[in-house]
A and B are shown apart, each in its own frame.
Chain A
Amino acid sequence: MSSEPQFFDQPGGVVGKPLVRVEGREKVTGKAKYSAEFPLPGLTYGVLATSTIAKGKIQNIDTTAAAREPGVIAVLTHQNLPKLAKTPNDAAGKKDIGAPMGFLPMTSDEIFYSAQPVAMVVADTLDHAIHAATLVKVTYQAEKPIASFHDSRAELFNPAKVQDGKEDGHKRRGDAKSAFASAPIQLTATYTHPVYNHNPMEPGSTTAHWEAPDRLTVYESTQGVTRTQSSLVAMLGMPREQVRVITKYIGGGFGCKGSTWPHTILTIQAAKAVGRPVKLMLTRKQMFTSMGHREDQSQTVQLGATADGKLTALIHTKVSTTSPWDNYAESNSKIIDLLYATPTFEASYEMARANVMTSTFMRAPGEAPGSFALECSMDDLAARLGVDPIEIRLRNYADHDYSTGQPWSSKSLKQCYARGAELFGWSKRNPKAGATRDGRYLVGMGMASASYPVHNSQGSARARLYADGHAVVQSGATDLGTGTYTVMTQVAADSLGLPMDKVRFELGDTNLPTAPNSGGSVAAGTVSSSVYLAVQDVWQKLIKVAVADKKSPLYKAKPEDVTAEKGRLFLKKDASKGEAFGDLMKRAELTDVEGMAQGKYGPGYESGHSASPAGPGNNTESASAHSMHSFGAHFCEVRVDMDLGTVRVSKWVSVIGAGRILNSQTARSQIIGGAIFGIGSVLMEATERDANYSRYTNADLANYHVPVNADIPDMTVEFVEENDPYINAMGVKGIGEISMVGVAAAVANAVFHATGKRLRDLPLTPDKVMMAGLAS
């Protein structure tokens, strides 16, 4: 284990400080170039025409009218699109590509889901392309689609694996069924939610530029340039060096930009076909059917407990809708398995194929819906026994990870409960549900625990320090808009002992050292650790120069006796013996020194083992001595107008323990963003799929409701100080997803406390809340 980089916490350091974004000015002045904003000579515009049916075959595509329109360069369909080296249409291809979907549209005449791309028009202007796309006339041989697992014709099956083969479809720990059967307290409840769509502000976009037949550059809105590159390389059958992917800025992703979806490769193929660069940006409507969604699902939790509220068994079953080709279901059961000291556990998955697109990971995949089910059931247990919701959680506090038997690398959940309760004023909570009024409103307080795994991941970075006192630091990471540019500049600045404005951090390009996808909350930890270690590599190189330099105060010192801090190399034992790097470099006539390193999570992270380029298949979790998770607690107050069914969140507190916090302002923003994401999911979000047509009826932002300012109160966020020496060189766990875990339950528990009604079918719109009151 490497020594904790203590100097970050010293006076004058910038790591952890609430600094504004380094790229903020570029963004607000419009200088920041998003992926659809690269002007290329001869650029053309692609627009997709999509299927109006959900199942069947294309009988005929008539492209003559579209092709005749002014400005139209090509109308591409499955009949004339260039062929690929590999498609995901067979299992081997899917695996090699790392594709989320086992089917690529426009490779055959088959229609599997509604709004499936059937043609792409390429034209000289966007307007021409949009209009021509409406003139592509397709006739279909339509069949009746299956819309979801609710469909009476849907066939349920138990998949061996879920979440893209990453998780088992069935898990047992001890004999949960017997333990449940003999438990003095038995609670069984079913929780449901509809389809959710990520809907980042910036839709997916691709600009494909074949600079030569063997040189492709793609400007892509992706959460990971390397992962996108890997998929493209596999599909195109080209060497990695010939495919460059660039993503300088992203307007949010939430998981939907974590994989390579059909529109990307179709645009690349179109660019090849027309011999000019092609830009395609998905429309908002297409965003509902082009980059995955969180699947519609039903979960049943059976909770067995002793008379004093100690869990004896948890049994979880999930039924969900999947696509015609993939067994995708978020693995909700993981968090249910490990959040509490549960001696026995069993989980199983059922799914049905329907004529829908493949679902995919969406912020806290599995943990978000899983925590909703578990944390509502825990709240039920507390209510049943007349015990405070925090107390019931403390009675079941897991002092190690029951799902694996491993000790935690660190866990501050008790502190989160205590601090959250204090900030929120939890002690004022009336123990009785449905008993607190403020005028017309029923007032309720709810809470829930949060946890999110620290995924094993690795990345690399390069640091180049110049003798004149500035530095360029690079890593092929992506900044989802959450602050990667800023926090990495902070880490580099402190590691180098330079002011922020002397450090430039570059990212988002496959020509840079590879980094993992910004997903699964791994970016902050791996990339900051890579940056930190790359700078250490710089220092090691300079120390070697110093100890060999007769004019250096460090001449003939043993390299291991020398250290670097604040831009100065000195003897560990005698700090007065040393010199500034600039003096050394000038004397040695070095204009710059470059360091490289790999940062990774888990045991041995400090060794800087080299990693093959990040990509599908090599980010498997390795067995490790510790179970690594972040934890937190959310507290919510709601005001419910029971007559009209409206629920308003009136107070919010989140307290999170997630290792080192790199920037308290961008971190706070992430927690707020995640909490609002969760509030949307519990109160209003729903993509409505028509049961007869298997097509969405509210695929726009007027009718797919996400919270607006008026829905959100002032929010309080705090982080518990946490030093985790096991996770990575920087001790950073990541916070992008834990921010939303448990949020839905905290709100639903507050609604229960306000009204005495337990609502388990999301979202909790006024119709459901009002009708629940009526049912009393």
Chain B
Amino acid sequence: MNNFAYTQAASTKEAATAAQADKQAAFISGGTSLIDLMKSNIEQHTLLIDLNKLSLLGIENSAAGLRIGALERMSDVGEHPQVVQNYPVVSQALLASASPQLRNMASMGGNLLQRTRCGYFRDTAFPCNKRVPGSGCPAQTGDNRTLAILGGSPSCIATHASDLAVSLVALEAKLTIESPKGQPRTVPLADFYKLPGSTPHIENHLAPGEVITAITIPAAAHARRSHYLKVRDRASYAYALVSAAVGLDVQGGTIRSARVALGGVGTVPWRVPAVEQALVGKSATEDTFRAAAALAVRDASPREHNKFKLELAQRTIVRALLEVAA
């Protein structure tokens, strides 16, 4: 860890301006991700701009949807009655993440910007294109059991680690982002993340100085009937091997709308529109789910140790759908 300066921002604009002025600066919210990365010398920042004094709070439910301030803590959102009731997939994704201690510290905005758990990325002794562009990707022929089968490239197959993001992508959530220049913009979360391609070190479309201020989720019948299923190496406190965020609107046994996204298999949170389309208009049966789930991994390109995800991803989708259809 290197020496760094620390400042507390009094307003979003102040934070954004300070960050824009110093290329090596970083925002800090809960710090549960950032400090780890700094301690392991994966990121070196000269200045930390603390966002915690900003009023980016609030969990507001309306007919149009849910608005969550970026500084809300994962535990507060996960346990919020409106979230539990109207957006169960979001609540479940949050409460299946990390540990209670971490969730009490970690912010919603920070969660979406956490970085991959790829073991090569996390150890500076290894080459890694994401950490040091052009240095190589040992994961391609190395330990890739937990890495991505979808959205990868010869440069990088790192899995996106956030559970929350998977649930939000499924529900077509949007981010509100403020820049130093003023006018906030909104971006669908699905468009926010970038595939690695040949530039795996660029992970999203956040410009220098931009602050995530809020997350909005449109209200929908499929959001109320939604579920997050996470398969992992131990019962709790582990990242997903595979996860599925699903939502269904079933009327009279027929599926009116469906949302399906996968975690643990993609380099970004992976929504599968083909699966959704294959569900709509069909009866909510296991056969339907199976046939649809098969479409989820059509474009997958697994490596040596993560082939199992082809099958596990489909099964996780089916199980999650059975759960909401029940």
Contact = CB atoms under 8 A, between A and B. Distances in A.
Contacts of A692: 138, 141-142
B145 interface: yes
Contacts of B2: 131, 134
B311 interface: yes
Contacts of A646: 231
A52 B125 contact: yes
Interface SS of chain B? loop
B120 A697 contact: yes
A693 B124 CA distance: 13
Given A766-B241, A766-B312, A708 B235 contact: yes
Nearest to B3: A131
B24 to A, nearest CB: 16
Interface in B211-270: 231-239, 241
Nearest to A770: B312
Interface in B108-166: 117, 119-120, 122-126, 138, 141-143, 145
Contacts of A134: 1-2, 41
Given A645-B231, A705-B233, A765-B233, A700 B122 contact: yes
Given A52-B125, A114-B125, A698-B119, A767 B319 contact: no
A692 B142 CA distance: 7
B234 A683 contact: yes
A695 B126 contact: yes
Interface string A709-722: 11100000000000
Contacts of A703: 117, 119, 239
B234 A767 contact: no
A702 interface: yes
Contact of B319 (A644, A707, A709): A644
A690 interface: yes
Scoring A52, A115, A644, A771 by chain B CB atoms within 10 A of each residue's CB, the highest score goes to A644
Given A692-B142, A697-B120, A766-B241, A708 B234 contact: yes
Contacts of B308: 767, 770-771
A695 B235 contact: no
A575 interface: no
Contacts, number: 97
B131 to A, nearest CB: 13
Contacts of B1: 130-131, 134
A705 B142 contact: no
Interface residues of B, number: 35
Given A690-B143, A693-B126, A771 B237 contact: no
B315 interface: yes
Contact of B233 (A114, A115, A684): A684
Contacts of B123: 285, 695, 697, 699
A766 B233 contact: yes
Nearest to A648: B235
B231 A766 contact: yes
A649 B92 CA distance: 23
Contact of B236 (A285, A693, A696, A708): A708
Interface in A59-117: 114-115
A643 interface: yes
Nearest to A114: B125
Contact of B315 (A114, A765, A770): A770
A770 B314 CA distance: 12
B5 to A, nearest CB: 15
B142 A697 contact: yes
Interface in A630-668: 643-646, 648
A770 B231 CA distance: 11
Contacts of A688: 119, 143
B315 A705 contact: no
B316 interface: yes
B238 A644 contact: no
A203 to B, nearest CB: 15
A691 B119 CA distance: 14
Nearest to A128: B3
Interface in B59-114: none
B219 to A, nearest CB: 31
Contacts of B311: 770-771, 774
A710 B125 contact: no
Nearest to A695: B125
A643 B315 contact: yes
A204 B308 CA distance: 38
Contacts of B231: 644-646, 766
Nearest to A649: B235
A710 B142 contact: no
Interface of A: 52-53, 114-115, 130-131, 134, 285, 643-646, 648, 683-684, 688, 690-693, 695-700, 702-703, 705, 707-711, 765-767, 770-771, 774
30 contacts: A52-B125, A53-B125, A130-B1, A131-B3, A134-B2, A134-B41, A285-B123, A644-B312, A648-B235, A683-B234, A690-B120, A690-B126, A691-B142, A692-B141, A695-B123, A695-B126, A697-B142, A698-B119, A698-B143, A699-B123, A702-B239, A705-B233, A710-B234, A710-B237, A711-B236, A765-B233, A766-B232, A767-B309, A767-B312, A770-B311
The 3 closest A-B pairs by CB, nearest first: A697-B119, A710-B235, A52-B125
